[in-house]
Amino acid sequence: MAALKAGILSTPGQRRVAVVPAGVGALRDAGLEVLVEAGAGAGARFRDEEYTAAGARVLPAEQVRDSADLWLCLTRPDAEVLRGMRSGQAVAGLLRPLADPGLMHQIAGLGATLISLDGLPRTLSRAQPMDALTSQASVAGYKAVITAAAAYDRYLPLLMTAAGVARPAQVLVLGAGVAGLQAIATAHRLGAVVTGYDVRPEAREEIASVGAGVLEADAPGGAGEGGYARALTADEQRAQGGALAGAVGRFDIVVCTAQVPAGRPPLLLGTEALERLRPGAVVVDLAAGPAGGNTELSVPGQTVETANGALVIGAADLADTVPRAASEAYSRNIAALLAHLLDGGRLAVGPDDAPGDEIRAGVLVAHGGRLLRPDVAAAAGTDPASSPVR
């Protein structure tokens, strides 16, 4: 049987790459022949020659897509590229299927297999090495604080000099998921006085564990499923917004990291809260995107100055600004997932392969002409138990 060909694709607009040269060996050890799109690693400063030396073949993009049985990508390829898939081909990456369920339905109809790492059950301990959302969020949380420090016009740590004493910056991190906890830890290491806030009651211990105080705000709790926060009701959001507006004025830097899976980010800092910020204060919003962000003024990729002289930075994709480290982490996630999904060099994702496996059930969006994830199928208006959509 011929070896399964895995093709590493670039993603337009992204500097990260799905597999780094050091990760090629693990794929080859798993029985895969590795193809790489020419220049795929250039954004993260991985040269084509490094992939060749690792045992991969570097080919033009179209040839990789045509030849590979399994496409490996970072984020979802363009729709037209996906529509060029043939029956039996597979693609694995952070596909965000709920962002475009109609497209997922179309590609399922081609007979292609869709594997999305963002569907991984994140509370499952054996899935942690595959958890790309965690690895990329950790990078983003770190870079959020570095971005804030670069924009802030004072020091972060306490400094005692002959010219006087500079007080430490007061940093507030909203959201204590992976990105938030990494932001807290980074700000703490840089010498700031850090406070964390999360709607989930169980997050208080996690905030304290990385050296931060806990913001005591008279706001509703919002524990959800799978370790995520749930979406708050309109009344709860108003109560939370009022509580945060009353507290935010005493902080120099605010890092916003709160997101709801497959939904609009919660609005945490409205106009009233932003007006209470000190001149020179900095807000970094990791949730900024086309659907909005955690603040009223967030614009993806832009910095907005408020009337009172505070800066609101729409930090939409910070992991991509640390492309080498982020790519190395993601590459390990991909290798770990494929080690779980491969069986004797073949992609074992059929109905008779490991029935009841939670990891396969989470990441496998489409196979055999069907949308298999119930949430994606429902969003696309189809029944996952129905006949193939072709």
Query: Does residue 305 share a domain with residue 172?
Result: yes
Which pLDDT score is estimated for 389? 42
Strand runs labelled E in 245-330: 253-256, 282-285, 303-305, 311-314
Query: Does residue 235 share a domain with residue 144?
Result: yes
The reply to whether 117 falls in a domain is no
User: Which has the closest alpha carbon to 156: 182, 184, 128, 193?
Assistant: 193
Query: Does residue 142 share a domain with residue 245?
Result: yes
Q: Which two tokens stand for residue 246?
A: 């009353």
Q: For residues 288 and 299, is the Cβ–Cβ distance under 8 A?
A: yes
The reply to whether 221 falls in a domain is yes
Cα 106 from Cα 25, distance rounded (Å): 34
Cα 235 from Cα 227, distance rounded (Å): 23
Which pLDDT score is estimated for 26? 96
Q: Which two tokens stand for residue 81?
A: 């590229």
Query: Does residue 194 share a domain with residue 311?
Result: yes
Domains: count for the chain: 2
Who's near 342: CB < 8 A, 6+ residues apart?
4, 30, 31, 32, 348
Which pLDDT score is estimated for 168? 96
The reply to whether 190 falls in a domain is yes
Which pLDDT score is estimated for 200? 84
Query: Does residue 81 share a domain with residue 226?
Result: no
The reply to whether 118 falls in a domain is no
The 10 Å Cβ neighbour count of residue 217 is 17
Which pLDDT score is estimated for 225? 53
Which one of 274, 298, 321 terminates a domain?
321
Which pLDDT score is estimated for 139? 98
Which one of 301, 321, 341 terminates a domain?
321
Strand runs labelled E in 134-281: 159-161, 164-166, 170-174, 193-197, 213-214, 253-256
- Judged by phi (left if over 0) then psi (alpha if -120 to 50, else beta), residue 71 lies in beta
Query: Does residue 307 share a domain with residue 174?
Result: yes
Which pLDDT score is estimated for 18? 98
Query: Does residue 306 share a domain with residue 205?
Result: yes
Which pLDDT score is estimated for 387? 42
165-200 per-residue burial string, b: 16 or more CB within 10 A, e: under 16? eeebbbbbbbbbbbbbbbbbbbbbebebbbbbbbbb
The SS3 call for residue 316 is coil
The reply to whether 52 falls in a domain is yes
DSSP string, 92-127: EEE--GGG-HHHHHHHHHTT-EEEEGGGS-TT-GGG
Whichever domain contains 186, its CATH number is 3.40.50.720
| DSSP at 301 | T
Query: Does residue 106 share a domain with residue 63?
Result: yes
pLDDT, tens digit, for every residue of 142-178? 999 999 999 999 999 999 988 889 999 999 999 999 9
Query: Does residue 214 share a domain with residue 285?
Result: yes
DSSP string, 21-45: HHHHHHHHHTTEEEEEETTTTGGGT
| DSSP at 61 | H
Low-confidence ranges of the chain (pLDDT < 70): 1, 218-233, 262, 384-390
Report how far Cα 317 is from the mean position of its chain's Cα atoms. Answer: 8
pTM of the predicted protein model:
0.92
Which pLDDT score is estimated for 390? 38
The 10 Å Cβ neighbour count of residue 164 is 7
Query: Does residue 355 share a domain with residue 307?
Result: no
The reply to whether 387 falls in a domain is no
The reply to whether 9 falls in a domain is yes
Which one of 303, 321, 339 terminates a domain?
321
The reply to whether 125 falls in a domain is no
Query: Does residue 350 share a domain with residue 271?
Result: no
Domain that holds residue 98: 4-111+327-379
Query: Does residue 253 share a domain with residue 221?
Result: yes
Q: For residues 171 and 165, is the Cβ–Cβ distance under 8 A?
A: no
Could you give the C-alpha distances from 143 to 35, 117, 211, in angstroms and in order? Answer: 31, 22, 18
